Amino acid sequence: MKIKDIKTDLSNVDVQGSIVLIMPTKTVNLRAGGTSTCADALLQDETGSIKLSLWGAQIDAVKQGDQVSIRNGYSVVRHGEPELNIGRYGKITVISDDDDSHAADTKCPFCHRVLSVDTVFWCENTGCVAYTGRFLGEHLEILFRSVLV
């Protein structure tokens, strides 16, 4: 499956892509009691990108620039945006890691222009738009907006 084909409320999602961004780890309280750590990541393939939710040991298992395979994941909508989860029955595997990953390795999945590591991108109706900024907690402070087409 390709990222562009991931719709909400899907199960048994198998997808491969690159981890282009990992947000800071947070400690959260669980409904069942206790706490756990979580971090949002951005997973990208040649067709698009999607937010990926990482929990516990999954966070330390991957790093920015890794090519990963996700098996038996599921998709949900959180805060109005689609999100991919691995869950307890899914698995994330590093296919290849990129020890020499640099900002220049990240490309827009729509126009394939090189983007910096701290760039969040998506395609608007008018074309590709890149928002460069820095993460403050779970919010992106926009420093620069550029239309790529």
What domains, with CATH codes, occur in the chain?
1-100 (2.40.50.140), 102-149 (no CATH)
pLDDT value for 131: 53
- Look at residue 64 in the predicted model and tell me its pLDDT: 87
**Is the pTM value of this prediction over 0.75?**
no
What is the reported pLDDT for 79? Answer: 79
pLDDT for res 91: 94
How confident is the model over 66-112, as pLDDT tens digits? Answer: 999 999 999 998 878 889 999 888 999 998 865 544 333 455 555 55
- Give a three-class secondary structure readout of the chain: CCHHHCCCCCCCEEEEEEEEEECCCEEEECCCCCEEEEEEEEEEECCEEEEEEEECHHHHHCCCCCEEEEEEEEEEEECCEEEEECCCCCEEEEEECCCCCCHHHEECCCCCCEECCCEEEEEECCEEEEEEEEEECCEEEEEEEEECC
Averaged pLDDT, 23-31: 89
